[in-house]
Amino acid sequence: MTRAPGTTSKRRVGYVFVRLGLLLMVLNGLFPAVWLLLTSFKTENELTRIPITYLPHHFTLHNYVDVFTQNPFARFLLNSAVVSLVATLVTVLFASLAGYALARLRLRFRRPVLTAIVMTSMFPALVMLVPLYRLFVGVDVPGLTQLFAYLHAMGWGFMPTRVMTPNLLNTYWALIIPYVALSLPITTLILTSFFQLIPDDLEAAATVDGTTRVGALFRIVAPLSAPGMVTAGIIAFVNSWNEFLLALTFNTATTMRTVPVGITLYQGEFAFPWAVISAAVTLGIVPLVVLILSFQQRIISGLTAGGVKG
């Protein structure tokens, strides 16, 4: 077979470059995680040896046992899972409802509302720390305390009582509520773009067949936009699983800590038991790796269809 020699060699050079680039990319993305995995299989003795070893000489799973015995790590995993899953479900539900309204109804304040929702992602979680803390400790329900004081003063047999919102600190709600709010802007944006892609006719046909608007939303629009919901859900889940600051501040009881916060418990005042920490971090990443491996195509195509319209 004959080819124009110039193009072949040029193409081969390009091919080599791309392969090299891909190799570097994989190395860049995965090396820290792989190194963590290797570290978690080494003994603490082996870690403090010079020259350092790359592959574990004495393969051990002891660090993983330590992770679970030194702190209630299973409980951390459970907390993270419950908080993230509930927050994800609520976020996707709220964002779908809002996205549907913003994409398909004739509303006068459509654009300003969408802009306002997206703009709230400018609020750093850090800024909300103190006010939210106070809110979650419990605040007076406006009016009710005064009402009871008034009734008491009128001599109607009521005791003056402070009517407070419940103390949410060290409960799942203290994390679920802010996580929903933190993920809502981006998921609403994605889902709004998704709903705009679904043809109007389908919904109109369903309405003619006797389904209500809300029924059409759940039976026609929701299934068709399932890919967008999966993408939004994954983003919400990753956000919630990764959040650190609010979890650190609101849930201080050991049994209520999430994984990222719980891992800081393994650090001593001066010593860093790296082997155990590596094992704990590895375990904390596993759910995310599973998520990525099963949904990688979904995440990227979801972002393509929805995320970049803003």
CB of 157 to other proteins, least distance (A): 34
**In the complex with other proteins, which residue's Cβ is closer, 160 or 310?**
310
Check if the beta carbon of residue 280 is closer than 8 Å to that of residue 67. yes
- Tracing tokens 């003994």 back to the chain, one arrives at 43
User: What is the number of other CB atoms lying within 10 angstroms of the CB of residue 189?
Assistant: 23
Q: Where are the beta strands (DSSP E) in the chain?
A: none
**In the complex with other proteins, which residue's Cβ is closer, 82 or 101?**
101
Is the peptide bond preceding residue 32 cis, with omega within 30 degrees of 0? no
Q: Is 21 in the site for other proteins (CB under 8 A)?
A: yes
**In the complex with other proteins, which residue's Cβ is closer, 122 or 154?**
122
- Tracing tokens 């570290």 back to the chain, one arrives at 39
Residues 85-124 that bind other proteins (CB under 8 A): 93-95, 97-98, 100-102, 105-108, 113, 117, 119-124
CB of 146 to other proteins, least distance (A): 20
User: What is the number of other CB atoms lying within 10 angstroms of the CB of residue 201?
Assistant: 8
Is the peptide bond preceding residue 51 cis, with omega within 30 degrees of 0? yes
CA gap 242, 85 in Å, rounded = 13
Residue 211, token pair as written in the block: 């389904």
Give me the amino acid identity at 108. R
CA gap 217, 184 in Å, rounded = 19
CB of 308 to other proteins, least distance (A): 5
CA gap 216, 208 in Å, rounded = 10
Q: Is 37 in the site for other proteins (CB under 8 A)?
A: no
Q: Is 145 exposed, middle or buried (0-12, 13-18, 19+ CB in 10 A)?
A: middle
Choosing from 196, 211, 265, 273, the residue that interacts with other proteins (CB under 8 A) is 211
CB of 57 to other proteins, least distance (A): 14
CB of 310 to other proteins, least distance (A): 6
CB of 155 to other proteins, least distance (A): 35
Choosing from 67, 77, 132, 221, the residue that interacts with other proteins (CB under 8 A) is 132
- Tracing tokens 């936009």 back to the chain, one arrives at 225
Q: In the stretch 158-197, what mask flags binding to other proteins with x, by CB under 8 A? A: -------------------xx-xxx-xx--x---------
Choosing from 1, 5, 69, 131, the residue that interacts with other proteins (CB under 8 A) is 131
The site for other proteins, by CB under 8 A, has a size of 96
Question: Residues near 292 by Cβ (< 8 Å), separated by ≥ 6?
Answer: 299
Choosing from 168, 260, 276, 279, the residue that interacts with other proteins (CB under 8 A) is 260
What is the dihedral angle through the alpha carbons of 119, 124, 125, 130, rounded to the nearest 10 degrees? Answer: -110
Residue 82, token pair as written in the block: 């419950």
Choosing from 85, 135, 149, 230, the residue that interacts with other proteins (CB under 8 A) is 135
Residues 282-301 that bind other proteins (CB under 8 A): 284-285, 288-289, 291-293, 296-297, 299-301
Residues 42-61 that bind other proteins (CB under 8 A): 47-52
**In the complex with other proteins, which residue's Cβ is closer, 24 or 65?**
24
Residues 214-243 that bind other proteins (CB under 8 A): 214-215, 238, 241-242
